[in-house]
């Protein structure tokens, strides 16, 4: 014979507190993992755009270009007056890429959303319909890329730096 014990009000309160505490320590995925997926998605979509434009070379991720993209992403995220390619220190994409150790010719595309999240389809749709950005993305000379994205509670930024090796 089984004995069933009913939980009294104190037991329920204790269980509730325990579950709440467990929820507080439950590890949630970090934005970094989501941003890494976003960055890789942007690279894949730029690759597709290049090949639709007739490019035949592979598009390779370059860590120096990614570092230049990261610097500018963080700068734009933390300086709301910035809305394009020039950094808060007056730096250009070419200067940032050179400072990151890249010696080739570069170009940049920047996406800024006034929201917590941004996705690669929103980014690419925005860039695709801007003639200057589309020209950069579809330029077959750019065979290397670095992408970085970051979010705050009310702003999301993604930067892609495209490179043509020297």
User: How do 60-61 and 144-151 pair as beta strands?
Assistant: parallel
- Cβ-Cβ contacts under 8 Å for 2 (sequence gap 6 or more): none
Q: Binning pLDDT at 50, 70 and 90, where does residue 116 land?
A: confident
pLDDT at res. 84: 81
Q: What is the pLDDT of residues 2-49, one digit of tens each?
A: 444 455 555 444 444 444 444 444 333 334 658 899 999 999 999 999
Annotate 8-76 with DSSP letters as a single string.
Answer: -HHHHHHHHHHHHHHHHHPPPPPHHHHHHHHHHHHHHHHHHHHHHTT--SPPEE-HHHHHHHHHHHHHH
Domains and CATH numbers, the chain: 31-164 (3.40.33.10)
Helix (H, G, I), strand (E, B) or coil at 135: helix
Q: Could you tell me which residue, 107 or 18, shows the higher pLDDT?
A: 107
pTM of the entire predicted model: 0.79
Quote the DSSP letter at residue 115: S
Q: Is-contact 159 109, C-beta < 8 A?
A: yes
Per-residue pLDDT for 147 more than 80? yes
pLDDT at res. 26: 38
Other CB atoms within 10 Å distance of the CB of residue 14: 12
Q: What percent of the chain has pLDDT over 90?
A: 60
Q: How many CA atoms lie within 13 A of 102 on its CB side?
A: 27
Q: What percent of the chain has pLDDT over 70?
A: 80
pLDDT at res. 134: 97
């Amino acid at each position: 014979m089984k004995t069933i014990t009913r939980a009294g009000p104190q037991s329920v309160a204790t269980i509730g507190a325990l579950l709440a505490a467990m929820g507080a320590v439950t590890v949630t995925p970090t934005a970094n993992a989501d941003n890494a997926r976003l960055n890789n998605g942007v690279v894949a979509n730029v690759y597709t755009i290049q090949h639709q434009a007739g490019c035949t070379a592979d598009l390779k991720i370059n860590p120096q270009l990614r570092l230049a993209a990261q610097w500018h992403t963080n700068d734009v995220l933390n300086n709301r007056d910035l809305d394009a390619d020039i950094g808060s220190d007056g730096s250009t994409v070419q200067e940032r890429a050179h400072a990151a150790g890249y010696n080739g010719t570069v170009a940049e595309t920047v996406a800024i959303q006034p929201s917590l999240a941004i996705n690669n389809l929103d980014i690419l749709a925005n860039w695709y319909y801007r003639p200057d950005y589309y020209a950069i993305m579809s330029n077959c000379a750019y065979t290397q890329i670095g992408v970085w994205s970051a979010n705050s509670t009310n702003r999301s930024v993604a930067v892609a730096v495209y490179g043509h090796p020297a």
